[in-house]
Amino acid sequence: MTAIQIAPSILSADFCNLERDLNRIANADLVHVDVMDHHFVPNLTMGEPIVQRICEVTPVPADVHLMIEDPDRWAPEFAKLGAKSVTFHMGATHAPVRLARQLHDMGCEACFAVRPAEPVEPIFDILEEFDTILIMTVEPGFGGQKFLGNQMDKVRRLRDEITRRGLKTNIQVDGGVSPSTAPIVAAAGANILVAGSAVYGADDPAVAIDQIREAAQA
């Protein structure tokens, strides 16, 4: 099993002090950047200019989570900015394999996301195309929501399939991850943990990252 990676979500950072808040998570494996468009989800965050500056000012690799309509059109634009990986949603994309291959051609990892009511099994047929599968553990759109433990069965089924086929696919979970839920998601088979409010709601975000990592590895 690969090491646990922690990806703090800057959705819970102070948007007027983004550079300061990026510096506070220097011990993170990835910085999770939530891009929302008021259409795919009922919230609006940031676009390319801000994501570009994030990629420029932090040495932590950017993991861009697109919660937008038409990722087939827009995901490559974020890859161009230097994101390590770009995530797009099953419920938004028209041609996930084509998009994943396009991202790979640009040197960017491809991550495919499913919402809580969406099954993971349809992805099994195209699993080799992706570096990471994101299982949402809240409805996408907002930070600070309650963790959906009922998604753990999905994580286990996906981990079993990845293991059975000898693949190296990462499983990411996003939503309600904290030191208390981290052991649950790690035990189910997730290895990339996104955490927003649990990191930026803490007095010291770097300490919170270490706590989540230790809880997941315990």
Give dist(CA 107, CA 3) in Å, integer: 23
Which candidate in 21, 29, 34, 63 is catalytic?
34
Only one of the segments 7-15, 56-64, 162-170, 184-192 lies at the binding site for ligand DX5 (rule: CB under 6 A); that segment is 7-15
118 binds ligand DX5 (CB under 6 A): no
Q: Report, in Å, the least distance between residue 105 CB and ligand DX5.
A: 26
145 binds ligand DX5 (CB under 6 A): yes
Residue 174 annotated in active site: yes
Give dist(CA 124, CA 86) in Å, integer: 19
Residue 34 annotated in active site: yes
Contact 68, 92 (CB under 8 A): yes
Give dist(CA 200, CA 178) in Å, integer: 11
- From ligand DX5, Zn ion, none, which one binds at residue 12 (CB under 5 to 8 Å depending on kind)? ligand DX5
CA-based nearest residue to 131, from 85, 165, 97: 85
Give dist(CA 3, CA 146) in Å, integer: 25
Rg (C-alpha) for the chain, rounded Å, is 16
131 binds ligand DX5 (CB under 6 A): no
Q: Which of 79, 120, 194, 215 binds ligand DX5 (CB under 6 A)?
A: 194
71 binds ligand DX5 (CB under 6 A): no
197 binds ligand DX5 (CB under 6 A): yes
